Chains A and B, each alone.
Chain A
Amino acid sequence: MLMDVLEQLVHGLTLGSMYAMVAAGLALMLGVARLINFAHGEFFMLGAYAFWYGYRQLELPYAVAGALAVAVMVLWGLAYQRTVIRAILPRSWHVQLIATLATSIVLTNLAIIVFGTQPKEVPTALSSRILDVGGFRMAAQRLLVLAGALVIFWALHRFVTRTRAGRAMRAMSQNREACAVVGVDVQQVALVTFGLSAALAAAAATLVSPLFNIFPDMGTGLTLKAFAAVVAGGFGYVNGAIAASFLIGITEALAGSYLSYQYKDAIAFLVMIAVLLWRPQGLFGRRLGI
């Protein structure tokens, strides 16, 4: 019984790491550009397919395939900012939401056409190796996911607080007009933000794909859960979003195991609506900014 709960906790932490990396990107975009990217789950999906292509089709080593996926997605993020985001940034939130939703539909269905609806599996040496510590069993890949997520969050924190580009991003999240006045290139900062967010999504995809299947419409639900984390964490506040992601992951793992597996997503969405209603400013206060 205790081992069972522990296993579900580890499963929840894995899910939480995935949600956190996606939600951090979403929160960055929201904080810096004041924009909800409805296609962000599809960024993760594309990253996963890029990794699958490198690892299974080109038969590259795991780390190289992961780096390839991240590089491809950074380019994708930059291209997306240059074309779609630049056009909708000055427009109303109605236009922004419909445009990014439309992007997500195009990407999902293009993925169905290119890769088919059959889920892809990417088992690695680590995902098939089961660690056994006194009766407690887990795939070694889960340790890699947790460690990778911690390293990535530490690097993200360093980037945002120590580098020039990161500081410009924080400044923009606090006051865009003042940034423009003192000569920060607003479009340039938005460009860096989208590249970084896409890289986070691809890194998450590389880490967790060996544990879960890859399929074309995995993005919509992921966008919603990441958005739930962003809201719960206090709109656009990255650390809050990361913390909330782990809460959501653990809740989902426990609900899926002890309440109902078929309805676990429904439970997650209902909890999210409840949080939106109960604390519209987020679980961790109302601080805005990254």
Chain B
Amino acid sequence: MRRAARLALVGVAVAAPWLVARVAPGQQRYVVHVLIFTVLFAALALSYDLVVGHVGALSLAHPAFFGVGAYTAALLATRAGWPFLADVLAAVVLAGAVALVAGVPLFRLTEHAFAVGTLAFALVAWIVATNWVDVTRGPLCVTGIPKPVTTLPAWYWLALGALGVVLLLYRGMTTFRLGRALHAVRDNAPLAAAAGIDPLRYRMLAFVAGGALAGGVGGIYAHYLSVFCPEEMTIALTVNLLVIVFLGGVGTLRGVLVGAVLFTALPEVLRLAPTWRLVIYGALLLVIVIRSPQGLDGLFRRAASASGR
């Protein structure tokens, strides 16, 4: 039954462009564009949840890895003429390498100091992207990034394929022995260490994997928009990711996917200016963490267990 439901969901996701064409033929371009954003944000949020939800490290550095990936792909494509797959792969590798180099010192910090250290790192990355004009063109943005596919439905399937890859990796890392080790580190690091699970190794693993995947998503994102600016990697991105992850349900696959869909659908329905959007997201985040820290997924589960009894 559950298997059938899941297959049906995947079927709907793959067939979405056709469904949209049947239901809203006049608005197909716009709706598919929103769907592409939803899928890319879902992939990015899953990569973030690996770090925040599964090893419990509240990193605020994710925009830095997203930006490193985006700039890597954009610059390799525009200046060196690399093909799409090769430059996205380079984005994954370079973002992962940056996460590795930054993670070694940052994970010596604990709690607040870790959060502030990662936030400072993200700000340094943004300052460099804005001011290193010779390479990034600064506020003038990298423009003319080639598109590997041209039609919107093709872009949608490409993004969906990327989400599929991230999803498989996410599942693989958060279940089985590896997933239990990550959760042991999150729930009680000293106990995990006593049981022979090195907390630092697993934290680094999640941090580097999350950073590398964020870099890959960043690369695809830059190709899709064909322009990438330093403003895409500010603290606003961290807030978006926190809202998705905490709105849906931190540390749960279903929760993060629900969060991504609601998060990208909501502003389209409300039609808001970006500043009002951030005001509402911030207020929403505040209410969620205070009232329902498990997110919507926690509410579902509570409702399900209440009706099951």
**A interface residues with partner B (beta carbon < 8 Å):** 36, 84, 87-88, 91, 93-95, 97-99, 101-106, 108-110, 112-113, 220-221, 224, 227-228, 231, 262-263, 265-266, 269-270, 272-273, 276-277, 280
Which residue on chain B has the smallest CB distance to residue A98?
Answer: B289
The answer to whether B117 touches A276 (Cβ under 8 A) is yes
Residues of chain B with a CB closer than 8 A to A220's CB: 123, 235
- Whether B128 is near chain A, meaning CB under 8 Å from some CB there, is yes
Q: Indicate whether A106 sits within 8 Å of B286 (C-beta atoms), given known contacts A262-B131, A263-B127.
A: yes
Interface positions, chain B 87-136, Cβ under 8 Å from A, are: 105-106, 108-113, 115-117, 119-121, 123-124, 127-128, 131
B127 → A minimal CB distance (Å): 4
Q: How far is the CB of A225 from chain B (nearest CB, A)?
A: 10
Cβ of A110: which chain B residues have Cβ within 8 Å of it? 279
Q: From B126, which residue of chain A is reached at the shortest CB distance?
A: A266
> B31 interface residue, CB < 8 Å from A?
no
Instruction: Please report B residues at the A interface, Cβ cutoff 8 Å.
Output: 56, 58, 105-106, 108-113, 115-117, 119-121, 123-124, 127-128, 131, 235-236, 239, 242, 246, 275-276, 278-279, 281-283, 285-286, 289-290, 293
When the two chains form their complex, are residues B289 and A272 in contact, meaning their CB atoms are under 8 A apart? no
- Complex contact B123–A273 (CB within 8 A): no
B113 and A276 form a contact (CB under 8 A):
yes
B249 to chain A, nearest CB (A): 14
> CA–CA, A113 to B110, complex, Å?
36
Q: Output the nearest chain A residue to B109 by Cβ-Cβ distance.
A: A276
Question: Are the CB atoms of B289 and A265 closer together than 8 Å?
Answer: no
- Kindly state the separation between the CA atoms of A56 and B303 in the bound complex, as whole angstroms: 55
Contacts of A101 in B (CB 8 A): 239, 242, 285
Sampled A-B contacts (24; CB under 8 Å): A84-B290, A91-B293, A97-B58, A98-B58, A98-B242, A98-B285, A101-B242, A102-B242, A102-B285, A102-B289, A105-B235, A105-B285, A109-B276, A224-B120, A224-B123, A263-B128, A263-B131, A266-B124, A269-B123, A273-B117, A273-B120, A273-B121, A276-B109, A277-B105
Residue pair A106, B127 in contact (C-beta under 8 Å):
no
A102, B112: Cβ atoms closer than 8 Å? no
User: How far apart sit A94 and B115, CA to CA, in the bound complex (Å)?
Assistant: 9
Q: Complex Cα distance A102/B276, Å?
A: 14
Q: B261 → chain A, closest Cβ, in Å?
A: 21
Q: Is chain B's binding surface mostly helix, strand, loop or mixed? A: helix
Distance A265 CA – B123 CA, assembled complex (angstroms): 9
Measured CA separation A273–B107 after assembly (Å): 11
* Closest residue of A by beta carbon distance from B125: A266
Tell me whether A97 and B286 are in contact (CB under 8 A): no
* 15 further A-B pairs in the complex, CB-CB below 8 A; given A102-B285, A102-B289: A36-B112, A87-B290, A94-B56, A95-B290, A97-B112, A98-B246, A99-B285, A99-B290, A102-B282, A112-B275, A221-B123, A231-B116, A266-B123, A273-B105, A273-B117
User: Is there an interface contact between B58 and A94, defined as CB atoms closer than 8 Å?
Assistant: yes
Whether the Cβ atoms of B235 and A88 lie closer than 8 Å is no
Q: By the criterion CB–CB under 8 Å, are A102 and B109 in contact? A: no
A193 to B245, CA, bound (A): 32
Expressed in whole angstroms, the Cα–Cα distance for A221 and B100 within the complex equals 25
B116 contacts A105, CB within 8 Å?
A: no
Q: Determine whether the beta carbon of A99 is less than 8 Å from that of B286.
A: yes
Residues of B within 8 A of A266 (CB): 123-124, 127-128
- The CB with the most chain A CB atoms within 10 A, among B56, B278, B286, B290, is that of B286
Q: Do A105 and B117 touch across chains, with their CB atoms under 8 A apart?
A: no
Given the contacts A87-B290, A95-B290, A97-B58, A105 and B112 also touching, CB distance less than 8 Å: no
Is A103 a contact of B112 with CB atoms below 8 Å?
A: no
CB contacts (< 8 Å) of A231 on chain B: these are 113, 116
The chain A residue with its CB closest to the CB of B119 is A224
Let me know if A272 and B242 touch, CB within 8 A.
no
Closest to B276 in A: A113
Q: Which of A99, A109, A113 contacts B289 (CB 8 A)?
A: A99
* Closest A residue, CB atoms, query B123: A269
Closest to A95 in B: B289
CB distance from A39 to the nearest CB of B (A): 10
> Are A113 and B105 also in contact (CB < 8 A) when A103-B286, A231-B113, A269-B123 are?
no
Chain B, residue nearest A97 (CB): B115
A200 and B110 alpha carbons, distance in the complex (Å): 28
> What's the minimum C-beta distance from B80 to chain A, rounded to whole angstroms?
27
Chain A residue nearest to B58 (CB atoms) is A94
A233–chain B nearest beta-carbon distance, Å: 14
A145 to B279, alpha carbons, bound, how many Å?
Answer: 33
Chain B residues with CB under 8 Å of A263's CB are 127-128, 131
Identity of the chain A residue whose Cβ is nearest the Cβ of B250 in the assembled complex: A94
> Can you name the residue of chain A whose Cβ is closest to the Cβ of B120?
A269
| Set of chain A residues within 8 Å of B121, measured between Cβ atoms | 269, 273
Q: B115 CB to closest chain A CB, in angstroms?
A: 6
Cα separation A184 to B293 with both chains bound (whole Å):
30
Residue of B nearest to A87 (CB): B290
Taken together as a complex, chains A and B put the C-alpha atoms of A184 and B207 apart, in Å, by: 43
**Min distance, Cβ A118 to any Cβ of chain B, angstroms:** 14
Closest-CB distance, B145 to chain A (whole angstroms): 25
